[in-house]
Structure 1
Amino acid sequence: MSATTTVTQSALTLRATEEKKASTGSTRPQKLRWWGETGESEEAYPYRHFLPFFDKELRLPPLTPFKHFDPGHDALKHEDPQSFLAHADVDELTPDFGSEVSGIQLHELDTVGRQQLALYVAQRGVVAFRDQDFADQDQTWMIQDWCRFFGRPHIHPCSGAPKGHPEFHLVYRDAKAVYNYETDSRLTSTVWHSDVTYEEQPPGLTLLFLFDSPASGGDTAYADQRGAYNHLSPSLRSYLETLSAVHSGVEQAEYSRGGNRGGVVKREPVQTIHPIVRRHPVTGEKALFVNRQFTRYIVGLKREESDALLELLYTHIERGTDFQVRLRHRPRTVIAWDNRVTAHSAIIDFAKGGSRRHGARITPQAERPFL
């Protein structure tokens, strides 16, 4: 049986609970369930072709610079830059940050729709698209068509990927295995970060979709780095705009070399200097661009000064509930965020139950951060 056939059957299985009402006479719709809730055998798991594979032979050269053009620029020229949402149901989670959208299919968007999507996600920061068929699409299409529209596909230097498709970054945890960059050495599993900021050209519009998840828990929290910046006093904002910081992938690589995750380092780690405040290339908005996971120190400050200032910013981002949202990964949800203006953290509140959390991230690289 082919992967495409299996996934199609999965879609039908997941939708079957909604259709059950037709045979029972019930008028109450039944919610979709994760695969782990269906009671089906593990051998029948329809997303086995998306399970993590760690290619110990793959050695990638250093990334080279490229010119990036954000498709959101073109959406600014449209008479109605949000026309792709004309028939959608939109729920704004806060006035300035985060939305939930239903009634459109991402994989059906044309060029204009994708341009408007890029602009909309840049404006809202993070958007959860519900009831999507995206996870059932062809893997090659996801990377060569979808991802490349928004930027150069990034291959993560350490994470697992579906065999033959290294451009996917997979998240995976169950009762027996953890293939994520996480530890149990802290009081909380929450680690706020923006993805792979150690790269010279970190990601822009990013997608995450889960194939399986606990019935509850395993949410993702998002913070608006624009809101974090705007909450600071004008004098501190002005000072931060004069500073740059070092972002490092060395510690993540050494974690994998120590036998964690999958024990693979596919590309040698780098350290890169980025401005502490960056400007979005389309909206022009300013945002903080530091995170506890990858930012190491501020260039030109003494260690104690750098540590104190970074700790202030990290704590501010982590405690800023007035510029944060927490999104639940319901079945058939795709979450899109702009990695340039947001930070996020997985919430590992399900680990003791042993449930599986399995998903994929599509990560297009964007421009080098600038102010």
Structure 2
Amino acid sequence: MAPSATETVTSPLRSLSIRPDSDKAATSTSASSSTRREKPRWFSETAKPGDEYPYERFLPIFDRDLKLPPLEPFEHVDPGHEALKDPTPRSFLDGADVDDLTPEFGTEVEGIQLHQLDSRGRQQLALYVAERGVVVFRDQDFHDQEPEWLLDDWTRFFGRPHIHPCSGSPKGFPEFHLVYRDGKAVYNYEVDTRLTSSVWHSDVTYEEQPPGLTALFLFDSPKSGGDTGYADQRAAYKHLSPSLRAYLETLSVVHSGVEQAEFSRKGSRGGVVKREPVENVHPLVRRHPVTGEKAIFVNPQFSRRIVGLKQEESDALLNLLYTHIKSGVDFQVRLRHKPRSVILWDNRITAHTAIVDFAAGGGRRHGARLTPQAERPFL
């Protein structure tokens, strides 16, 4: 019997790990004979001819027998609400090295382990990511935890684990959304008919309840390239004139998964549609349930038309916003994926794009996204 849209399929798997297989002996400095830890490297940097890829089992498969029913609405209460009551809402960062990438958006953190956070720490984390938009945590053992923990303990704390209707996943764990590209295959929603590979979007906004706090980590990557760009949709909103902001707040937009599903039905990205596509109408400007901040909520990948406008009017206004978002370098950051890093972002208030600048070299980029659904967008 096929699993339901909310059921976690479990099977015994060894832990996820991106610890390099290379020699971990400390390096002696010529000046002081002191030792330092070897810099973590990707498997593709250290592999020798004939070495078995240690994450083979986490490569995407496309289960043609997995047919999922429509998603049902559910009540979501963001854990960040509890952190608002906390007298020290950033105490989970005590002892950490915190580096803000810009004054208002994007942060890099070292010195804490995500998997060790208790409920209070996770509540604070949810609020912190909502405030900063996107946060990358370095040198994590997050990847070494069992898949069941990553789904049932971590992801479910922040919302209902989402099963992507078209993407590949590891065998037995459809809730893992895998990103994969190498010199011979690409299993992403990607086309080569544009001048650039960049497609700014928020994930699966066609769902009635799109994702909230989302996690991404890579198993393997080229030594350079394959970064992810992030844009602050709150700042994009604030940059607009007051009169335009007021008008946009009266509008709603149709978000559709039909084109993505048809892309798969034609044989791309594995050729599988696990759940029939849906369309939903969301406000063009949404409010974050915890911080109360407003953000633009459109993207060219899934937004199709503004309700109540003629097609030319809708296209002109949406294209203005798309150009604004992708051109807004003053509210964007570009994050480099490093071994043992985890990127967390709030999908309600950010947009992002993969940067496929490594394709010519044929390098492999292989990662997993954990995607908890949140509340239905509202203003």
Please give the TM-score of this superposition, normalised by the length of structure 2. Answer: 0.94
| Counterpart Cα distance in 2 of 1:325 and 1:274 | 26
Instruction: Say which structure is richer in helix.
Output: 1
Which 5+ residue runs of structure 2 have no aligned equivalent? 1-11
| Counterpart Cα distance in 1 of 2:220 and 2:188 | 15
The one of 70, 75, 78 equivalent to 1:70 is: 78
3-state DSSP class of the match of 2:360? Answer: helix
3-state DSSP class of the match of 2:338? Answer: coil
- Establish whether residue 138 from structure 1 lines up as the match of residue 146 from structure 2: yes
Contact 2:158/2:372 (<8 A) preserved: yes
3-state DSSP class of the match of 2:269? Answer: coil
- Establish whether residue 179 from structure 1 lines up as the match of residue 198 from structure 2: no
Percent identity over the alignment is 72
Post-superposition offset of 1:228: 0.2
Amino acid at match of 2:208: E
What is the 5 A alignment of 1:269-280? 269-280=277-288
Amino acid at match of 1:210: L
Q: Counterpart of 1:124?
A: 132
Q: Counterpart of 2:6?
A: none
Post-superposition offset of 1:29: 5.0
Q: Counterpart of 1:288?
A: 296
Q: Counterpart of 2:213?
A: 205
What is the 5 A alignment of 1:99-118? 99-118=107-126
Amino acid at match of 2:44: G
The one of 23, 27, 34 equivalent to 1:21 is: 27
3-state DSSP class of the match of 1:44? Answer: coil
Contact 1:4/1:138 (<8 A) preserved: yes
Amino acid at match of 1:21: T
CA distances 1:242-283 after superposition (whole Å, capped 9, x unpaired)? 000000000000000000001000000001000000000000
CA distances 1:322-353 after superposition (whole Å, capped 9, x unpaired)? 00000000111100000000000000000010
The one of 350, 357, 368 equivalent to 1:342 is: 350
Which 5+ residue runs of structure 1 have no aligned equivalent? none
3-state DSSP class of the match of 1:261? Answer: helix
Q: Counterpart of 1:32?
A: 40
CA distances 1:266-313 after superposition (whole Å, capped 9, x unpaired)? 000001000000000000000000001100000000001000000000
- Establish whether residue 301 from structure 1 lines up as the match of residue 302 from structure 2: no
| Counterpart Cα distance in 1 of 2:14 and 2:28 | 27
Contact 1:3/1:49 (<8 A) preserved: no
Amino acid at match of 1:20: A
Q: Counterpart of 1:362?
A: 370
Amino acid at match of 2:42: W
Contact 1:3/1:46 (<8 A) preserved: no
| Counterpart Cα distance in 1 of 2:268 and 2:242 | 43
Post-superposition offset of 1:226: 0.1
CA distances 1:208-267 after superposition (whole Å, capped 9, x unpaired)? 000000000000000000000000000000000000000000000000000000100000
The one of 333, 345, 353 equivalent to 2:341 is: 333
What is the 5 A alignment of 1:178-327? 178-327=186-335
| Counterpart Cα distance in 1 of 2:74 and 2:166 | 22
Post-superposition offset of 1:176: 1.1
Contact 2:20/2:42 (<8 A) preserved: no
Post-superposition offset of 1:20: 3.0
Q: Counterpart of 1:4?
A: 14
Please give the TM-score of this superposition, normalised by the length of structure 1. Answer: 0.96
Post-superposition offset of 1:31: 2.1
Post-superposition offset of 1:49: 1.9
3-state DSSP class of the match of 1:311? Answer: helix
Post-superposition offset of 1:13: 2.7
Q: Counterpart of 1:51?
A: 59
Count of matched residue positions in the alignment of Structure 1 and Structure 2: 366
